[in-house]
Structure 1
């Protein structure tokens, strides 16, 4: 499984991500939301017993992509 941690997704913004997490409440909120969704997806994908439906997992993945797009836009500002 791929690791979708934000600094792996955008290594060119690693220092900016660290700074924004500490100094920008809007970014921090988006970042925490992204990491929570990502952790939940990883939990479902790595578990021996999947306690969710394929539709729910697909919805979580779509939400992660949406959050990642928003974070990328924010990072490029």
Structure 2
């Protein structure tokens, strides 16, 4: 997969995977929720060291999920083109 691929570039595969693969749907939803939570926490004007640590932990989890999501998308692109 190219680094420039985005959710938008893969929206059809994502929609299909969310319907037929419950694990994919779960990790995609968790990724989306983490993204929203991180954005909310980063907008909060009152920041604390503990919150920074929490945000970093969330970002690491989100990145791990993103990697897993793209691996699943890649596998399905190969299946669909074969």
TM-score range, shorter chain: 0.7 to 0.9
**Aligned counterpart, 2:22:** 25
Normalised by the size of structure 1, how large is the TM-score? 0.76
Give the greater-gyration-radius structure (CA): 2
Extract unaligned runs of 5+ from structure 2. Answer: 76-82
Show structure 1 runs of 4+ deviating over 6 A: none
Higher relative contact order (CA 8 A, sep 6+): 2
**Aligned counterpart, 1:57:** 55
- Give aligned pairs, total: 70
Mapped to 1, the partners of 2:38 and 2:22 lie a distance apart of 24
